[in-house]
Structure 1
Amino acid sequence: MPDQPVTVSRNRNRRGEGGRLRDELVTAASRLLEDLDGQEALSLRAVARAAGVAPQSVYLQFADKRELLTAVYRLRFGELREALLAALAPIPEDQGAQRLSALCHAFVDYGIAHPGHYRVLFGTAGTPGWEPTEGQLPGLPTMELMVDTASAAGVPDPAATAQCLWAGMHGLITLRQDRPSFPWLPLDHLVDTLVAAHLRYPGVRS
Structure 2
Amino acid sequence: MSRVTAKKDTARDRNRRGEGARLREELVAAASRLLETLDGQESLSLRAVARAAGIAPQSVYLHFADRRELLTAVYEVRFAELRAALSTASATDAPTRLAEICRAYCEYGLRNPGHYRVLFGTAGTPGWEPTDAQLPGLPLFRLLADTAESCGSTNPTATATCLWAAMHGLITLRQDRPSFPWLDLNVLIDTLISAHLAAARKELP
TM over 0.5, shorter chain: yes
Deviates more, 1:114-123 or 1:136-145: 136-145
Inter-partner Cα distance in structure 2 for 1:19 and 1:99? 37
1:65 to 54, 64, 67: 67
> CA 1:109/1:139 → structure 2, altered by over 3 Å: closer, same or farther?
farther
Contact 2:94 2:151 in 1 (8 A): yes
Q: Hey, what does 1:27 align to over in structure 2?
A: 29
Greater helix content: 2
Q: In the alignment, residue 180 of structure 1 is paired with which amino acid?
A: P
**Which consecutive residues of structure 2, in runs of 5 or more, have no partner in the other structure?**
1-12
Q: Does 1:158 align with 2:160?
A: no
Inter-partner Cα distance in structure 2 for 1:147 and 1:177? 26
Inter-partner Cα distance in structure 2 for 1:139 and 1:189? 31
Deviations 1:55-93 (A, max 9, x none): 11111111111111111111111111111011x12x12x
Inter-partner Cα distance in structure 1 for 2:37 and 2:188? 28
Inter-partner Cα distance in structure 2 for 1:132 and 1:150? 23
Larger Rg: 2
Q: Hey, what does 2:4 align to over in structure 1?
A: none
1:140 to 138, 141, 146: 138
Inter-partner Cα distance in structure 1 for 2:22 and 2:53? 11
Q: CA RMSD in A?
A: 2.3
Q: Hey, what does 2:86 align to over in structure 1?
A: 84
> CA 1:186/1:139 → structure 2, altered by over 3 Å: closer, same or farther?
farther
Shift of 1:141: 2.0
Inter-partner Cα distance in structure 1 for 2:136 and 2:35? 17
Inter-partner Cα distance in structure 2 for 1:202 and 1:39? 40
Residue aligned with 1:60, SS = coil
Q: Hey, what does 2:167 align to over in structure 1?
A: 169
The structure showing larger relative contact order (alpha-carbon pairs under 8 Å, at least 6 residues apart) is 1
Between the aligned residues of both structures, percent identity stands at 69
**Which consecutive residues of structure 1, in runs of 5 or more, have no partner in the other structure?**
1-11
> CA 1:133/1:80 → structure 2, altered by over 3 Å: closer, same or farther?
closer
Q: In the alignment, residue 168 of structure 2 is paired with which amino acid?
A: H
Instruction: Please give the residue correspondences for 1:176-191 in structure 2 after superposition, counting only pairs within 5 Å.
Output: 176-191=174-189
Inter-partner Cα distance in structure 1 for 2:79 and 2:128? 17
State TM-score, norm by structure 1: 0.83
> CA 1:124/1:192 → structure 2, altered by over 3 Å: closer, same or farther?
same
Inter-partner Cα distance in structure 1 for 2:82 and 2:166? 17
Q: Hey, what does 1:18 align to over in structure 2?
A: 20
Q: In the alignment, residue 106 of structure 2 is paired with which amino acid?
A: V
Inter-partner Cα distance in structure 2 for 1:16 and 1:179? 45
Residue aligned with 1:15, SS = helix
> CA 1:53/1:22 → structure 2, altered by over 3 Å: closer, same or farther?
same
> CA 1:19/1:129 → structure 2, altered by over 3 Å: closer, same or farther?
closer
Contact 1:77 1:139 in 2 (8 A): no
Deviates more, 1:25-34 or 1:53-62: 53-62
